[in-house]
Structures are given as structure tokens and as C-alpha cells.
């Protein structure tokens, strides 16, 4: 009887401390099993194919314990590729992960699947596990079958508006593969900088990669260059740098998609070679946005030299990047200079084009032929639909989902990246508590959108990506802050079955993952814990309601300019009116008696401004 009681207490205590498994993205099928596997000095790592050696070596560096390779050891991690009985289901990136007390086995059709299985295995380790970890690492036993919903799971990093070093780009790759992303779209050129060495056009980096330094300037706020002021801010990747980035990414099963933004957003190219614009005026590369109605930032489509220069650019890009696609931008082209340019008018007459929209379409179609001759496919922002879509172009839909729907109905492939769900440069919470930017794209917006509209066939949707433009992102720490956790939400959208998604389940797993990000010194935003204000007209004044994205938080508030805490009024869901004379509302969120969100102080006048404004203006 005593033995039974002790055993009962033992199992009760085990159950009491056992935590549920937290994974992002959520796998297709997960069965938790009793027991645990322990990684320690006695664990051996074996593979059945040479293609798995890089992944095996990489995994050893992540757990802080060099794992001997080959058979033997008291416990084993076995990595296997080969034809699986459910090969078609698992595809190129799926895997089966089986964990017992003595063995971890990851089986896949191809090495990429094993690599993603290892990412899942790492997430099963304690959150504090890093490359510097010491001592045994316990992993709960489980059976997992997993494969992605979409083949294109990407993030875009704008390295033009602010330059990020080779080492920072590689760190970004390391962070994104944790969550099974497989595409890094690099925005390599824009008005604010040209970032890739083109050996046949040296001025692109000698001049186009540099601008005068301006701290904290964004959008059109940057002061123009002063007379004689040197251009010292910027940088570029040599082709050797880019080869190293490409190889680094390849070892982690990430494709680098290069973008050269044309025909507009081309000021850095025009500053380097002024004869490429309609005006042919000398323009400097500047820290802020240009006014395209005043400053010509578009290439002259009537100028044959433009196509000669672009042929040189894309010849070198095609030789450098293994990606089957090259992104040509194609967005936000101001067409006013084309309409008045004699060369562009002549081109329109010769090609029987009716308007400047058709002139841009002519340009895109010519780019498609150029890229096709170099073995590459063209992809561009949804403006490439205007005037007629190039025959084999792939569309990246950013101005909502309409462009993607139109392209898919024309039987073109689409990458969905609508700005109000996927733009990581937008505000992610109340603007009063965030670094200045524009718009709004909350964590919940990212998580609850679906890349496949009801009106199109899923086979035309390659997948999607989150886009981080960096006009307001000057440092890599801010890159991380704007990326995470919204990219956690998008990772689940692009990988997991739609039916597996649950907002409350995701936020619970996200909070567990925050511990892992902390251990890795990755900066992330906690904006989802902050209050959301919703003003509404009432009589001659207005009321304000308050809510939070994350469920189960308490909101405390004051109108008297003091800092709220749990001894102040708790919001009960009833819309509030500002008391007579009050000009500011101060709020903070708590959970279980402890502050969890930032204190947000907002003026009455600011809330009043929002009454007639849309969701993207603050």
C-alpha cells in the first residue's frame, strides 16, 4: 500500500510539472507522449546521407554540446532522408519527428525537411537553451508529422533606405529559419541607396550607395545636403559579400530573392548616371523621400541607353543569384515626366501605345524578355498589372489583395503580401507608445488574414511574406523589434493548416517563445499587450472604448494626469467620457496583479482627430 501511494505521488508530481508543448508554427499533427529524451555528452548524432551533414553540424552548434557523429552513444538523434510512404503528402519540406526516451528520429524526403524537423526539435528544448548552454537538455517525447501549407514563406528586408551589414543579414536569416521561413527578399535599390556591386557600372556604388548623414530623419523630413557636405552614410555588398550571404542562406534552405526597383524608385541609379532620367538633371542621393512630381526618380523608357544599362545589371544579377526569380519592383511610378518627354512620346508612337500606363507595361514586358533570356522569371509589385500584364509574370500583391485576385484569375502565380496584414514597417500598436512610423498592422491582423481569397484557386497562390521597409528603421535592433512577433504570426499563417489556427492558442505559445527570444538577445515588441482606443461620436462630444489584442488583461486608467495602477479605476467595458476639464487619458494593462503592457498617455484632441479617420492613419 505504501509503494502504491509513493508511485501515485510520483506520477501526480510529474503531471503537475509537465508543460504542454509550445511550437510556432503549429505542426499539422502532434501527439504528446510520456517521458523525455535528454541531450548530453553521451548523445550521438547519425545521418544516412551526406546531404544531411551541414544540418547535423549546425544543430550541434545550437545546443552547446558537441555531439559525436556516427552510431553509438546511450542516446541517439537519427536524421534520415529517403522515399517516405507518404512522400506526396510531406513534399520537399515535410518531416516526421519521433521522440522516445532513447531516440530522436527525423525522417523526410529531402534534406530541407530534416532541417525543419531540427527547428521543431530545438523549440522543444527549454526556452533558455542556446549555443552557450551547458549540461543536459531535456526534450518531451512526442510524435509529430508536419509539412507546409505554402511553398513561398518569406520576409523582405529593405537594405536600401538603411544599409545593414552582411553579418546583420546573416543574423536575420538565422532568426527567420527558426520559424521555417524559406525566402529572404532583399530590396537592393531605391531612391535612398544602391546596395550591390555591379562591376560593369562602378558609379552605382561609388556614388549611388552613399548619402549625407541624417540622424532620426524619415520620409520627407530629411534636410537636403549642404554645399560641400560629404556623403558618408550608406554602404553596399560586394559580389563576394553577396556570394557569402547566398551560401549562408543556402545552407539554411533559404532562397535570396534580389530586387532592383525599376522604372521608378530609381534615384540612386539616376544620381549615378544622370542620363538615364527624362530630365537628365543631376540629383543627389538623399536620406528622405523625394517628391516625384518635382524630382525625376523614374528611368526614361524612351532612352535606349536605359535598357543597355539594365541589361548589364541583370546579366550580373542572373550570374550571381541562384533564385529562379528576379524582382523588378514596378511600383509607384509617377508618369508625369514620361507624358512630357520627347523620347518617351516617340517610343509610344513607335510601339503603338495609347497612354503612359501602356508605356510602363511595355517596359515590364521588355524586362520579362530580358530576364527570360538570362534564365530568370520576372516578379513585381501589383502595379505591373497596369496597362497589361507581361505573359509569364508573377505578381506580388501589396495594395490589398485585389491585384493578386486579378492576376490569379488570369492564371498567373501570386505572392500575397497585402500591406494592412503584412507590412512590418507599420505601427503595431498604439502610436503614442511606439517609435514614429505610419499606418497600422497589428499582430492580430497578421495572424487572422488568409493568403487565399475565396474567389481564387489556391494553386495560383505561391504563398506570402512580411515586408519590412526601413525608412523609419535605422538599426538592426529596430529591425528585430519591427519583425517580431508579427513574423511569428505570419510564419504560422504560411506554414500551418488554416484549421489549426487559434488566436488565444497562438498568443499563449508566443509568450512561451518570448523566453527563447530573450535568451537569444533578440529584440521584440510587446505592443499586443497595450491598450487599443476606439473613439465614437456621442451627442456633441465622443466616448472612448478600450480593449487589448491579448485576452484576459485588466485595464486601469486615470484622467487626472497621474500614473494608473491597480488602485485606480479598472475599465469595465463601458465607453468612457472625458470629465469636464480633463485633457488626457492615461492607461496601463495588468495581468494577475502585475503590469504587462506599457503605460500609454493620450490627449483628448488626438482621440478626437481619429473619429473620422480610417484605421491606417495613426
DSSP-derived letter for residue 435 is -
Alpha helices in 104-165 (DSSP H): 111-123
For residue 169, how many C-alpha atoms fall within 13 Å in the half-sphere facing its CB? 31
Are 524 and 485 in contact, with CB atoms under 8 Å apart? yes
Which strand (E) or helix (H) includes residue 226?
A: none
Query: What gap in Å lies between CA 442 and CA 525, rounded to an integer?
Result: 11
Active site residue 265: yes
Sign of the CA dihedral running 473, 474, 477, 479: positive
- Give dist(CA 32, CA 142) in Å, integer: 4
Choice among 162, 265, 327, 412 that is catalytic: 265
Residues counted in the chain: 618
The total of other beta-carbon atoms located within 10 Å of residue 335's CB is 19
Is residue 187 flagged as an active site residue?
no
Catalytic one of 168, 241, 311, 332:
332
Concatenating the DSSP letter of every residue in 450-518 gives: -SS-TTS-GGGEEEEEEEE--TT--SHHHHHHHHTTHHHHHHHHHHS-GGG--HHHHHHHHHHHHHHHH
* 241 catalytic residue (yes or no): no
- Give the angle subtended at the CA of 489 by the CAs of 483 and 490, to the nearest 5°: 80
The rounded distance, in Å, linking the Cα atoms of 546 and 532 is 6
Catalytic residue, chosen from 190, 197, 420, 492, is 190
Q: In b/e form, how buried is each residue of 219-234, taking b as 16+ CB within 10 angstroms?
A: eeebeebeeeeebebb
- The residues annotated with a catalytic role in the active site are 190, 265, 332
Amino acid at each position: 500500500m505504501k509503494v502504491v501511494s509513493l508511485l501515485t505521488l510520483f506520477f501526480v508530481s510529474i503531471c503537475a510539472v509537465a508543460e504542454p508543448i509550445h511550437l510556432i508554427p503549429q505542426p499539422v499533427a502532434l501527439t504528446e507522449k510520456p517521458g523525455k529524451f535528454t541531450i548530453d555528452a553521451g548523445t550521438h548524432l547519425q545521418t544516412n546521407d551526406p546531404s544531411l551533414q551541414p544540418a547535423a553540424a549546425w544543430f550541434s552548434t545550437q545546443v552547446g554540446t558537441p555531439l559525436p557523429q556516427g552510431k553509438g552513444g546511450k542516446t541517439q538523434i537519427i536524421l534520415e532522408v529517403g522515399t517516405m510512404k507518404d512522400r506526396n503528402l510531406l513534399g520537399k519540406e515535410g518531416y516526421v519527428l519521433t521522440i522516445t526516451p532513447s531516440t530522436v528520429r527525423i525522417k523526410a524526403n529531402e534534406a530541407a525537411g530534416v532541417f525543419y524537423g531540427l527547428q521543431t526539435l530545438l523549440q522543444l528544448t527549454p526556452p533558455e537553451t542556446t549555443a552557450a548552454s551547458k549540461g543536459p537538455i531535456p526534450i518531451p517525447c512526442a510524435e509529430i508529422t508536419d509539412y507546409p501549407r505554402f511553398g513561398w514563406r518569406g520576409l523582405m528586408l529593405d537594405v536600401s533606405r538603411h544599409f545593414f551589414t552582411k553579418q546583420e543579414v546573416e543574423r536575420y536569416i538565422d532568426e527567420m529559419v527558426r520559424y521555417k521561413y524559406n525566402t529572404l527578399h532583399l530590396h537592393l535599390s531605391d531612391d535612398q541607396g544602391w546596395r550591390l556591386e555591379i562591376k560593369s557600372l562602378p558609379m552605382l556604388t561609388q556614388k549611388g550607395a552613399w548619402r549625407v548623414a541624417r540622424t532620426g530623419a524619415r520620409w520627407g523630413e530629411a534636410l537636403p545636403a549642404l554645399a560641400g557636405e560629404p556623403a558618408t552614410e550608406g554602404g553596399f555588398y560586394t559580389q563576394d559579400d553577396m556570394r557569402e550571404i547566398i551560401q549562408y542562406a543556402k545552407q539554411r534552405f533559404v532562397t535570396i530573392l534580389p530586387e532592383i526597383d525599376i522604372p521608378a524608385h530609381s534615384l540612386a541609379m539616376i544620381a549615378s548616371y544622370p542620363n538615364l532620367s527624362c530630365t537628365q538633371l543631376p540629383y543627389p542621393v538623399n536620406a528622405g523621400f523625394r517628391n516625384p512630381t518635382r524630382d525625376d526618380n523614374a528611368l526614361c523608357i524612351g532612352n535606349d541607353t536605359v535598357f543597355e544599362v539594365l541589361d548589364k545589371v541583370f546579366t550580373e544579377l542572373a550570374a550571381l543569384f541562384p533564385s529562379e526569380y528576379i524582382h523588378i519592383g514596378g511600383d509607384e511610378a509617377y508618369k508625369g515626366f514620361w507624358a512630357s518627354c520627347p523620347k518617351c512620346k516617340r517610343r509610344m508612337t513607335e510601339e503603338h501605345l495609347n497612354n503612359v500606363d501602356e508605356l510602363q507595361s511595355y517596359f515590364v514586358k521588355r524586362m520579362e524578355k530580358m530576364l527570360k533570356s538570362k534564365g530568370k522569371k520576372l516578379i513585381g509589385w501589383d502595379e505591373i498589372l497596369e496597362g497589361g500584364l507581361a505573359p509569364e509574370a508573377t505578381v506580388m500583391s501589396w495594395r490589398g489583395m485585389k491585384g493578386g485576385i486579378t492576376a490569379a484569375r488570369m492564371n498567373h502565380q501570386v505572392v500575397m503580401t497585402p500591406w494592412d496584414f503584412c507590412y512590418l514597417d507599420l505601427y503595431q500598436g498604439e502610436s503614442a507608445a511606439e517609435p514614429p512610423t505610419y499606418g497600422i498592422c497589428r499582430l492580430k491582423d497578421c495572424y487572422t488574414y488568409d493568403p487565399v481569397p475565396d474567389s481564387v484557386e489556391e494553386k495560383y497562390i505561391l504563398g506570402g511574406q512580411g515586408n519590412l521597409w526601413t525608412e523609419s528603421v535605422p538599426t538592426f535592433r529596430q529591425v528585430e523589434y519591427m519583425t517580431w512577433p508579427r513574423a511569428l504570426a505570419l510564419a504560422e499563417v504560411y506554414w500551418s493548416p488554416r484549421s489549426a489556427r487559434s488566436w488565444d492558442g497562438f498568443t499563449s505559445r508566443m509568450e512561451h517563445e518570448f523566453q527563447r527570444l530573450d535568451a537569444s538577445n533578440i529584440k521584440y515588441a510587446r505592443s499586443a499587450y497595450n491598450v487599443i482606443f476606439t473613439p465614437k461620436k456621442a451627442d456633441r462630444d465622443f466616448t472612448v472604448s478600450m480593449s487589448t489584442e491579448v485576452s484576459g488583461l485588466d485595464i486601469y486608467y486615470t484622467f487626472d494626469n497621474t500614473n494608473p495602477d491597480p488602485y485606480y479605476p479598472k475599465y469595465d467595458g463601458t465607453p468612457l467620457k472625458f470629465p469636464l476639464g480633463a485633457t488626457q487619458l492615461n492607461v496601463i494593462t495588468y495581468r494577475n496583479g502585475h503590469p504587462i503592457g506599457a503605460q500609454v498617455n493620450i490627449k483628448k484632441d488626438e482621440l478626437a482627430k481619429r473619429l473620422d479617420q480610417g484605421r491606417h492613419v495613426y
